Amino acid sequence: MYLYPKEIISDIYVSKLGGFSYEVERNEVGINSRAIEVNTSIIANETFAKLKFFNERIKPYFLRGTFRIVGIEEYMDSYDLSRNGEIVLSEELEDKFREKEGKEVIINTVESFRIDEDYRNVINAFKRIWRSENLTKRN
């Protein structure tokens, strides 16, 4: 059994930042592939996630960066950084996130599973809200 990622709400997980690796691209989050398989409904190389570290100033959801989740296999150099399912970020992001190493992080995959890059319904909902607010202001 792996400690992480732990599902706390449907399609939202908590893990820790295990470190940084040259094997992970800037727009990717690496996680032990076996931990993904055992602990989550995440599909490696297909699922996208937004990250939020605990006690971090909250950015609006749609302004947060999106990362593709990739599996880390036993033969990879970064495997030791994700032995218990910790996340691994690109070494390009080390300067930005160095002080977060070992800290808890929320992995939000809801958008990937619920919207799946089809934003038509979201856009239509925003349009309806915007129209109703404009009508209210006119009256």
Q: Is 26 exposed, middle or buried (0-12, 13-18, 19+ CB in 10 A)?
A: exposed
Span 30-42, average pLDDT: 95
Coil, strand or helix: which one is 72?
strand
Domains of the chain by start residue, with CATH? 6-138 (2.40.40.20)
Task: Dump pLDDT digits (tens) for 114-139.
Answer: 555 555 666 667 777 777 765 555 55
Q: What's the mean pLDDT in 90-105? A: 94
Question: What's the CA gap between 74 and 83, in Å, rounded?
Answer: 9
C-beta separation of 56 from 65 below 8 A: no
> For the segment 38-82, what is each residue's pLDDT rounded down to a tens digit?
999 999 999 999 999 888 777 666 667 889 999 999 999 999 999
Rounded Cα–Cα distance for residues 44 and 30 (Å): 9
Residue 96 amino acid letter: K
